[in-house]
Every structure is written in structure tokens, then in C-alpha cells.
Structure 1
Amino acid sequence: AVTTDTSFYKAFKDMRKFSFTAENRVFTYDKKNKINGKIFRKILHTNSGKTHKVQYLAKSDSGKVFKKNGKYELYTVEMFDYIFSNTYSSEFTQGASSYTKGKNASYKGKLKTLIFRPGTKVKGIPFISSKTEIFGKEMREFYLYQFARGTYLDSIPVYRFKVIRKPSTAPGDVIINEMTTIFDTRTFQILGRYIDMKFNNMFAEFNVQMNIELNNFNGDLLPVKISYQGNWDVPFHKEERASFLILHKDYKQE
């Protein structure tokens, strides 16, 4: 169900049918993990038919966030918007079209696959592709699979399915250290996903944790919180350290 479920991706696609308020925060860090840049946006998204309007309710930047040409310093921001292109725009960049191509498009595409289709094979990156199949025969020996009941957002009965690296597994044998998926027991819809990924070779180095939470609004499952903490070092870009907190509120169907 985890590898074939489409409700998680659909929740992001369905946002275009609603108006909502988004609060977007980004922090960047230096090599000592001290904050050296901040970005904040509070945005009213209005969707009426095919028209999407954006109104900035609050906007601020500080620290090292811009290049000399006025574009954002962060490749991480670019990558984040690409991952959710056509499903969600954080309004940190000028839209998806400017970065769907280029030197690192393949890396961004792979991360998008990991988030929306976890457990499937990701092709095209040396030494990584087969390690994403955490439910496959070759990778099962490296993981523990845990299943438990719980409560989500104080009232929703859920199943928590956790895939976690065995303590005896060497870090280099896996790319996904943990993936937890939360299902509504009544509908089996995915309400949340946490993923912890770490990898290091001559082609790429990253250490990423991301948590995405969904909630039901009058029968529609929609994103309410996205948090991200990650270090990236990929070809053609300097190392980046950043964290995000994205909150969506006041969904109203147009």
C-alpha cells in the first residue's frame, strides 16, 4: 500500500481547488550550524476557477540569502519548489519552469520520487538506485518493519508503519534510515510521512529529514505542515544547510 498509494500525492494536487493562508519560514546555516540567513513569507493563496492569485501578507529576508543577481542563494529552495512543482509553490522562486531543466534536474527528480513513491527503485544515480527499494528482497535484511496503532492530531485513530534501519546495519548499506507512514484506520488514507535519508559517495552527499502532515477538510485530504532539515552537497553547487517550516491554514473551497 505504501508504494502504490496515490492519496498522498493527490492531497498536494487538490490544493489548487482551495484558498488558504501559508506561513513559510526558511533558515540557512553555516558550517558550524549557526543561522546565517532567514526568509519569511505569509501568503494568501486564492484559487477561483483557473485563476490563482497570491497576496503577500508579510514578507522579510535577512542575512545571506541573495546572490548578486538578486536570485536566492539557496539551491535547496530551488529544489524544494521543484519537488512540489504543479502541486505546491512556496513562492520563494519564480515558478517551476526555470529549474525543471539543468545540471541537477535528475537529483531533484530522484528526491521527488522518494517522497511521493517511497520504496520504489530510483534510477540514474550511481550506488543509490537499488538502495531505495526498502521493501525489496535485497534490502529487507537491513531493516526492521514495525506496525502499531496510535492517535493522530489528538483524535484520529491511525496505524503507524515504520521502516527503520537495523542497529547492526552499516550506514553505507542503506540510504533510508527511517520511513514512517501514518494511515487513517477508517479510510486507509495516508495522513503523514516522515523520512530520514543519509548518503555519502563521490557523486553526492546528503543528510535529510522531512516530515509532511495532512488533514481532512470536509472530505478532502490536504497538507497542513511540512518541515525539513537537510544538508546537501551535490555536483556544481557548494554545500548547503537549511531548514524549512511550512504551515497551511484556513482552507476554503472556492
Structure 2
Amino acid sequence: MIQFQQFSCKKYILPFLLAILPATAHTQTEKDTIIKVDNNEFTLPTVIVRNGNNIPQLLKRIQSDTTFYKAFKSLHIVGYTSNNSIKMLDKKSNVKASYNSITTQKRENGCRSMTVADLQTTGDMLDKNGNFNYTTGKMFASLFFTNGNVCGENNIVGNQDFEVSGKKGIEKHKEQLKMLFFNPGKKIPGIPFIGNKLDLYDQDAHKNYNYRLDTVSFFGHDTYRFSITPKPDAKNIVVDNMTTWFDIHTMEVVGRKYTMSYHAGVYDFDVDMEVRLENENGILLPIVMHYKGNWAVILKGREIGEFKASLSHFHVK
């Protein structure tokens, strides 16, 4: 698993608070400054405050980021090679099914297509038609695999709201995963009991979480590390940690990690996701993604799986 740094970070603010934020800051120690916004506290190292940053604007930009989503959309307009690994595990962490391949995407004449090489599978990962038997594999394929010739795509980010109404089964689950993946910290409709608990921006969330912004080095980048971590007395939460690294100079996301868990009678899950991104030939693109998930739903059984994709040899045409 990719070993991202451990940390703690910070969160958002609303436009109408921009004018009052500077007046509510006070120094806690020489190291940290507590900023109160509408009675919600945010922690920053004093050095960030003293550097003359427009803190309200900086936090607002972090909250409304679209570079992460755009990076994945950009995969549709470039050629690249991906080394793929998927494992399904039993309750004792033994591998019961696996998938390994090297895929190459080509982009020509406004269309993309994919070839598969070095394919190796074990267990019941695929059915007799070559389709994934497990939801984990189906989710992976929806993010990284191309079926046939796909044309007319771009990486423009307009309204990035995702829609689950009218979708059922795996299509609905894929849409929810995209919402969770590209809009972490926002409400997700259609997930019983926990949809609202995923919202890390409302008043209730501030009762349960600490928000912190730091400056750190991350894989050669000078970054703002923005994280949300539960308070010691937090109750009935779903997000156990969410951290994003933003390049200080470009404000592009260069890393994201989040951990979620929930245990109830209807279903339970533990999920970890990590993504690292780099700017390749002027385009921000994901280069490593790692997912580990353990979840169960009544009547559907338990699924324990993980996948990793390592992307390289990007070609812009």
C-alpha cells in the first residue's frame, strides 16, 4: 500500500464569511493559529497566516476544487499504460480470486480504445464471458477500462454534480462511488442512514471534526495539506480521515487519502482510498490509485477486495 504521510489539516468557508474571518483569528501558540468562522474553528500554523495569504480565499478555493475530478476526466483524452491488480480476499485475508493485466489506451482522431496484455486471473474473478463477478472489479473497470471505441469526449469540468435518480443496481452504485470519489465530504443520496453523515461541511460536522491546514513536502511538491480528523468525542461518524495535498504554486491536487467506516445491522463497511497525481506534459493526471474495501449488505454477502492501478507512458495527441 502506498505510504502517504500521516497528518492533520483544515476546511472550508462560505463566501459571506470572507469579510469577518481575519478579525476572528487569535494566536494559540507560536506554532498554531485558531481561526473561528461562525463559531467553527480551523487550525493553521502561524507561518501560513503571517505569509500574507488571503486565508479566506485560500480555504474557499480548496473547498471548491475541481482539479481532482478534471485529472480523471483527462484520462479520456490521453494515451497511457496501466498496470492493474485486483484481489478478492476471504475473511482470513487469503486471496480467493485475482486479476492482473497491463492495459494500453490509445487516443486517435478524437476517440479512445484499449488493448489488454499479460492478463492473468485466478479463482472466479471473471465469468465465462470475461466480465467481472465482483462489484470491486466492476467499479475498477468503470474507472480505468475502455470498451470498444469511445469518441467525442473532453476534460471540461462544468457542472460536476452526479445523478443517481433513475439508476439502479450496479449503475447506481457506480454513480455513488463517483460522487464519493470525486466529491468527498459531500452528501450522497440513495445510501440509507449515512448519506448525510458524509457531509463534512455543515454545522453538525464541525461538532465532530477538527479542520487543519499545514504546509508540507509531498513527493517533491511544496503543498498545502488540508485534512479533516474526528474529535476524540466524535460519535456516529462515517469519515475517519480525509486529507488532500494541494501544490502551493498551482493549487492542483497532487494527493488525496480518505478512510471511512460504518457498522450497522443493515450493512457495514471499511474503505481506504489513496490517489497520487502528477502533471504530465501540462495535464494533471492520476498516476497511482489504491483502494481497499470490506463491506457487507444483507442478502448480498460480504465482499473484501483491493485494487491498485499504476499509470505511466502518457501520450497527448
Is the pair's TM-score, using the shorter chain for normalization, greater than 0.5? yes
Secondary structure of 1:134 counterpart: coil
2:115 equivalent to 1:60: no
Partner residue in 2 for 1:109: 175
Distance 2:305 2:148 in 1: 20
CA displacement at 1:134 relative to structure 2: 1.1
Point out where structure 1 has 5 or more consecutive residues left out of the alignment.
none
What is the one-letter code of the residue matched to 1:57? A
Equivalenced residue count is 242
Q: CA deviation at 1:116?
A: 0.8
- Cα distance between partner residues in 1 of 2:114 and 2:260: 33
Equivalent position SS for 1:12: helix
1:120 aligned to which of 157, 178, 186: 186
Mapped contact 1:24–1:245 kept (Cα < 8 A) = yes
Aligned residue runs from structure 1 range 1-254, under 5 A: 1-67=61-127, 71-82=131-142, 84=143, 89-90=144-145, 101-153=167-219, 155-170=220-235, 173-234=236-297, 236-254=299-317
Q: Comparing 221-230 with 9-18, which one deviates more in the overlay? A: 9-18
The two structures have a TM-score, normalised by structure 2, of: 0.70
Instruction: After TM superposition, give the deviation of residue 71 of structure 1 in Å.
Output: 3.3
Q: Distance in 2 between matches of 1:176 and 1:55?
A: 37
The amino acid of 2:178's aligned partner reads K
Q: How big is the shift at 1:197?
A: 0.9
Cα distance in 2 for residues equivalent to 1:227 and 1:94: 26
User: Which of these two proteins has the greater Rg computed from alpha carbons?
Assistant: 2
Instruction: Report the TM-score, using the length of structure 1 for normalisation.
Output: 0.86
Conserved? CA contact 1:3–1:117, under 8 Å: no
Q: Deviation above 6 Å: which 4+ runs of structure 1?
A: 93-96
Identity %, equivalent residues? 28
Report the AA paired with residue 164 of structure 1.
T
Structure 1 residues 151, 109: CA separation in 2 closer, same or farther (over 3 Å shift)? same
Instruction: Give the conservation status (yes or no) of the 8 Å contact 2:211–2:227.
Output: yes
Contact 2:114/2:145 (CA < 8 Å) preserved in 1?
no
- Alignment partners' CA distance in 1, 2:64 and 2:140: 23
CA drift at 1:235: 5.1
State the SS of the aligned residue for 2:169. coil
Q: Which amino acid aligns with 2:216?
A: G
Instruction: Quickly say closer, same or farther: Cα 1:38–1:104, change in 2 above 3 A.
Output: closer
- Judged with a 3 Å threshold, the aligned counterparts in structure 2 of structure 1 residues 3 and 146 are, in CA distance, closer, same or farther, namely closer
Q: 1:104 to 1:66 in 2, by over 3 A?
A: closer
Cα distance change of structure 1 residues 104 and 42 upon mapping to structure 2, 3 Å threshold = closer
